[in-house]
Amino acid sequence: MSRARKAAHFLLHRELAGSPPNEAIIGALHDLGFSVDLFAPGPTPSGPAVDDSVSFHPVEYGKRWLLGNLMSLRWQKYSVFSATSEDPLAVAGALAKVHRRPFFALVDEIKSDSYRGDAPQYWKSLCQWAIRSARLSIVNDEARVELLRQYAKLSPPSNVLVYPGSFRNPPLAADRTSLRKRWGIPQSAFTLCVSGGFNETSGADWLFECFKQDTTLHLVIQAVNMPTFTRLLLQNLAGAERLYLEPGRLEWGDAWASAPACDVGLAIYKNPAPQFQAMGISSNRLCMFLAMGVPVIASRQPSFEFIEEYDCGRLVSSASEFQSAIEHIRNNLNVMRANALNCAREYIRAPERWVALRDELGAMLGRDR
């Protein structure tokens, strides 16, 4: 299919280009006949962002850049604008309005209450206006639909669609034996994986209390943006010989491919801000573990109740429950692995939801003829 039409998709940072929701949007636009230009702050990397039809372009998220670039005729070549939350929404929404193009929003972060962020009120108001002006808003879990409506003051008829934090086509699993050998972890050792953001709200206290008491437990930590001092402390932790600490940031597909080399994944969200208490299938790490057949330990909240309904993990709210969850999964590992895959097929349903996303965008934009 030829791609005569062009789309401009704005990201908060370049690393998000390969994340599941953004990969889904780019794939849907390709399927509808669009080439895609990605905009993100920072220096423009060499080579294509995703494939030969996707490239990066520089942008800044602020009033000065917006006022200096808003009226440029270069935006006329784009048939549609889209953006992730939060700062990119203001720029893409304003460009779409001025140049009379359709606009849709991936609101994968809802920065409200204690998670409000540092943006000045005028910029947040512009972001919220952009969501209201969008022809379609995408959130990652049903539990976030009402939260989005409250945050952006969306009227009930506004078009909101759910697409999870999951790849529609998960990568092939890496070789478990080879990975464990590289990690220095015995092939038979019961191993827990931490992936993505890892801090004081991610259950580290429960995890390390259990790690200290259970000397048979091994850990793989694939953390994002871990401070150097924290890394140093972990490398000198009692029991560090049972810990593998990934030295750098993994690509999204590589993180997914490595997950089945572990036995259980962690999806703890103790931050009291509304979006973290309405995680559900918006959680990339949760979707990753389940789609790759890895049972999970998750924080107790209503949006995670499906985990115990499918018996593919346990919900916890204390260190003692965390220890009990480890033992339950260890004793039922093979069954829970199969249940994780079943949950991904029946509950997360990324392939079906991607078709719904593509068709919704197709109805909004008109298919290539």
Strand-pairing partners, residue 160, are 137
User: Do residues 140 and 165 touch, judged by C-beta distance below 8 A?
Assistant: yes
| Terminal C-alpha separation, the chain | 9
- pLDDT at position 50 is 57
Residue in the structure block whose two tokens are 């991607």: 354
State whether residue 304 is helix, strand or coil: helix
In the chain, what are the domain boundaries?
Answer: 5-164+350-365, 176-348
- pLDDT at position 244 is 96
- pLDDT at position 8 is 98
User: Do residues 272 and 183 touch, judged by C-beta distance below 8 A?
Assistant: no
Look at 200-204, 273-277, 334-338 and tell me which has the smallest mean pLDDT: 200-204
User: Do residues 27 and 8 touch, judged by C-beta distance below 8 A?
Assistant: no
Comparing CA positions, the residue from 282, 334, 344 lying closest to residue 310 is 344
- pLDDT at position 235 is 87
Please tell me the distance from the alpha carbon of residue 152 to that of residue 144, in angstroms, as a whole number.
Answer: 12
Average pLDDT, whole number, for the chain? 93
199-247: pLDDT as tens digits: 889 999 999 999 999 999 999 999 888 888 888 988 888 999 999 999 9
- pLDDT at position 52 is 67
> Please, which residues have CB within 8 angstroms of residue 167's CB and are 6 or more apart in sequence?
20, 23, 24, 252, 253, 256, 287, 291, 350
User: Do residues 255 and 288 touch, judged by C-beta distance below 8 A?
Assistant: yes
Q: What is the mean pLDDT of residues 340-360?
A: 98
- pLDDT at position 36 is 96
CATH homologous superfamily for the domain 176-348: Glycogen Phosphorylase B; (3.40.50.2000)
Taking CA atoms, 236 is separated from 184, 209, 288, 324, in Å, by: 16, 16, 29, 27
38-53: pLDDT as tens digits: 999 987 655 545 566 6
- pLDDT at position 45 is 58
Taking CA atoms, 134 is separated from 32, 84, 124, 284, 346, in Å, by: 19, 12, 15, 24, 30
Instruction: Give percent of the chain with pLDDT exceeding 90.
Output: 87
> Please, which residues have CB within 8 angstroms of residue 352's CB and are 6 or more apart in sequence?
none
Please tell me the distance from the alpha carbon of residue 92 to that of residue 78, in angstroms, as a whole number.
Answer: 11
Which CATH fold would you assign to the domain 5-164+350-365?
Rossmann fold (3.40.50)
User: What is the reported pTM?
Assistant: 0.94
What's the length of the chain? Answer: 369
Q: Higher confidence at residue 25 or residue 235?
A: 25
- pLDDT at position 279 is 97
Q: What is the mean pLDDT of residues 330-358?
A: 98
Helix (H) or strand (E) holding 173: none
Q: What is the mean pLDDT of residues 297-303?
A: 97
Same fold, 5-164+350-365 and 176-348: yes
Please tell me the distance from the alpha carbon of residue 332 to that of residue 340, in angstroms, as a whole number.
Answer: 12
Please tell me the distance from the alpha carbon of residue 254 to that of residue 243, in angstroms, as a whole number.
Answer: 19
Strand-pairing partners, residue 314, are 297
- pLDDT at position 2 is 47
Instruction: Look at residue 369 and tell me whether its pLDDT is greater than 50.
Output: no
